[in-house]
Amino acid sequence: MDLFGQHDLFDDSAATAERAADPSPSIVYERSAKARNYRLTLRKDGVAVAVIPARGSEREARRFVEQHQDWLQRARARQAARPRAATTWPVGTHVLWRGELTEIRRAADGERPMVCLAADVFRVPALTGDLRPTLEAHFQRLAKIELTARTWELAAVTGMEVKEVTVRNQRTRWGSCSSGGVISLNWRLIQAPYFVRDYIIHHELMHLKEMNHSARFWARVAEVCPDWESAERWLKRNGSLLGL
């Protein structure tokens, strides 16, 4: 239940009807039985998705899109301005590691090829080529250990009863929490600053008391994690560096 601004969303409840001349280059139309209004979203891959409600028509949807070209252009501009992570990681690449953009450096000579990211040292098959698959596997392994331990620690501090902690590869969320007490965390949180990682853990822990995002829920979050708002801001600004 935790999605932090991975989509820009426009809802026709606050429509400003303005026309723009040129239609958008890549747009798909999707019919939804559940949707009650026409809706336009911009996916991470740059494709705009227009949702047609149950009783709507594609013709109306096209008009809706045309009326919201201004919004779409602004959304595309915002998307283009978001920081982007490198897709391949040769030695020398800067990657987000424990909250800082950190250079992948070759470690001091040893028998085996190793690289370091700040204070962490990782074995790699070779010092040439794309190190991303190897390093991300190391990150996941560390994430399972560190994020799990930290969750148990913060559960004890806040007096929450957690049944199980899992660390997974989640595509669209930082964490989730089941009513049965299972907390799942995105392994990429290990690349985020400590205060952000702790905020997500606190957020999920507080869901054990409030399975919603009500004012009562946020009051509980603020109590255990006073800087939650700056953590949210960090995630909005830098989530794209982590692939979210």
Q: How far is the CB of 177 from Zn ion (least distance, A)?
A: 7
Tokens of 121: 């040292």
Environment class of 33 (CB within 10 Å of its CB; exposed 0-12, middle 13-18, buried 19+): exposed
Tokens of 21: 């001349």
How many whole angstroms separate alpha carbon 139 and alpha carbon 143?
A: 6
Looking at the Cβ atoms of 9 and 28, the one nearer to Zn ion is 9
Least distance to Zn ion, CB of residue 197, Å: 15
In whole angstroms, give the CA distance from residue 244 to residue 240.
5
Residue written as token pair 């997974």 = 168
Indicate the residue among 2 and 146 with the shorter CB distance to Zn ion: 2
Which residue in this structure is represented by tokens 């909250």? 99
Kindly tell me which of 135 and 205 has the beta carbon lying closer to Zn ion. 205
Q: What are phi and psi of 40, to 5 degrees?
A: -130, 130
Closest residue by beta carbon to Zn ion: 2
Rounded least distance, CB 1 to Zn ion, Å: 5
Of 16 and 179, the one with the shorter C-beta distance to Zn ion is: 179
The smaller minimum CB distance to Zn ion, of residues 132 and 188, is found at: 188
Instruction: Report, in Å, the least distance between residue 213 CB and Zn ion.
Output: 6
**Angle CA(41)–CA(43)–CA(44) in degrees, nearest 5?**
145
Decide: helix, strand or coil at residue 40: strand
Contacting positions for Zn ion (CB under 5 A): 1-2
Residue 150 CB, shortest distance to Zn ion, in Å, is 18
